[in-house]
């Protein structure tokens, strides 16, 4: 091979291995679509962020006004709405109901979800059939599920009331009495959303390695020992995801309570979302209702922030880091 040709081939091979940035610097242009590709990929997230921030910013702005649906104009009132809200006993009652409902719903559904998932973690036809059945409550709108439960708990024609009378419990009041209203809503909420926890826990159980459990069985470890020291620590990251989602949604619960009792009887189930709705669309005071929702956002943010931090720590510990 001639020296000139050899030198030319070496030059071409070395230029082909050069980084893209150096090729660009030597005069070659990257096509427009290649440059725009990162921005095109990020554009849906950017538009979604704008769509979230605009209403959120407007809510913050109008919370400092006396905006009302009853009048055409409004004035800037500063922190007056917040001060009045913190002085109102109804606000603190709503906070208590919201936290109690969220805590009880999350704990109940987590315990039930883990227990049922452990029972269904079998490779047989019955378990596979029940897993399919568990999906049904998740595809039903919570409002529709609430209406179905209202029929089932009706004292005249409800099947649940007939079963209770058969065991000697007559005229159980369900959502019509302050002492049983919270219990009724929690039952409906558990029926609708516990399958979500079950499916997540089942997914976690299906991904566990078999070797540690086989070793524990050979060593004579009990079922409780295996669950406490092997199963629970390994599925904890997946379980925390379920707890996080259920806690966030329970703090924002509106549809089931509204469809069942509209916050009653009286103010028994007046959570923060229902109180905000009542102030805005019953009393037409939008400016006064918005602080309730912003305080709820603060609760959700704080709890989710610490839950995510704990989930990250648990995931690292489960992976042995």
Domain boundaries, the chain: 1-29, 31-56, 84-318
Fold of 84-318: MetI-like fold (1.10.3720)
Output the average pLDDT for the chain: 84
Give pTM, 2 decimals.
0.81
pLDDT of 47 higher than 50: yes
Q: How confident is the model at residue 29 (pLDDT cuts 50, 70, 90)?
A: low
- Token digits of residue 112: 């039930």
Task: Give residues with Cβ within 8 angstroms of 106, minimum separation 6.
Answer: 243, 246, 247, 250
What are the phi and psi torsion angles at 65 (to 5°)?
Answer: -125, 170
Q: How confident is the model at residue 114 (pLDDT cuts 50, 70, 90)?
A: very high
pLDDT of 43 higher than 50: yes
Query: Is the alpha carbon torsion for 257, 59, 247, 198 positive or negative?
Result: positive
pLDDT of 202 higher than 50: yes
pLDDT, tens only, 151-200: 898 888 888 888 888 888 887 888 888 888 999 999 999 999 999 999 89
Dist CA 285 CA 276 (whole Å) = 9
- Token digits of residue 106: 């999350």
Dist CA 173 CA 181 (whole Å) = 8
Judged by average pLDDT, the poorest of 17-26, 68-77, 169-178, 228-237 is 17-26
Q: Which residue is listed with tokens 């809503």?
A: 185
pLDDT of 104 higher than 90: yes
Contact predicate 239/200, CB 8 Å? yes
Q: Which residue, among 227, 196, 206, has the nearest Cα to 109 in the 3D structure?
A: 196
DSSP 65: B
Q: Which residue is listed with tokens 């883990």?
A: 114
pLDDT of 82 higher than 90: yes
pLDDT of residue 60: 92
């Amino acid at each position: 091979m001639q020296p000139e040709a050899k030198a030319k081939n070496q030059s071409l091979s070395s230029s082909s291995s050069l980084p893209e940035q150096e090729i660009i610097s030597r005069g070659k242009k990257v096509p427009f679509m290649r440059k725009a590709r990162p921005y095109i990929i990020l554009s849906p997230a950017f538009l979604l962020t704008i769509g979230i921030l605009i209403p959120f910013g407007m809510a913050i702005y109008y919370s400092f006004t006396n905006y009302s649906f009853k009048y055409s104009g409004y004035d800037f009132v500063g922190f007056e709405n917040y001060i009045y809200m913190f002085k109102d006993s109804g606000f603190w009652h709503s906070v208590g109901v919201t936290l109690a409902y969220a805590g009880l719903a999350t704990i109940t559904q987590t315990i039930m979800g883990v227990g049922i998932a452990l029972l269904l973690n079998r490779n047989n036809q019955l378990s596979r059939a029940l897993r399919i059945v568990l999906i049904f409550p998740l595809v039903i709108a919570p409002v529709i599920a609430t209406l179905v439960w209202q029929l089932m708990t009706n004292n005249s024609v409800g099947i649940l009331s007939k079963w209770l009378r058969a065991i000697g419990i007559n005229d159980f009041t369900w959502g019509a009495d302050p002492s049983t209203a919270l219990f009724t809503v929690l039952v409906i909420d558990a029926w609708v959303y516990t399958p979500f926890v079950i499916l997540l826990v089942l997914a976690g159980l299906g991904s566990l390695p078999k070797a540690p459990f086989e070793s524990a069985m050979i060593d004579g470890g009990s079922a409780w020992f295996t669950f406490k020291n092997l199963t629970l620590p390994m599925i904890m990251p997946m379980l925390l995801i379920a707890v996080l989602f259920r806690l966030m949604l329970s703090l924002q619960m509106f549809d089931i309570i509204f469809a069942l009792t509209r916050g009653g009887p009286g103010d028994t189930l007046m959570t923060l979302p229902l109180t905000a709705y009542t102030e805005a669309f019953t009393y037409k005071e939008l400016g006064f209702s918005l602080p309730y929702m912003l305080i709820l956002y603060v609760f959700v943010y704080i709890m989710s922030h610490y839950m995510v931090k704990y989930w990250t720590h648990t995931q690292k510990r489960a992976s042995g880091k």
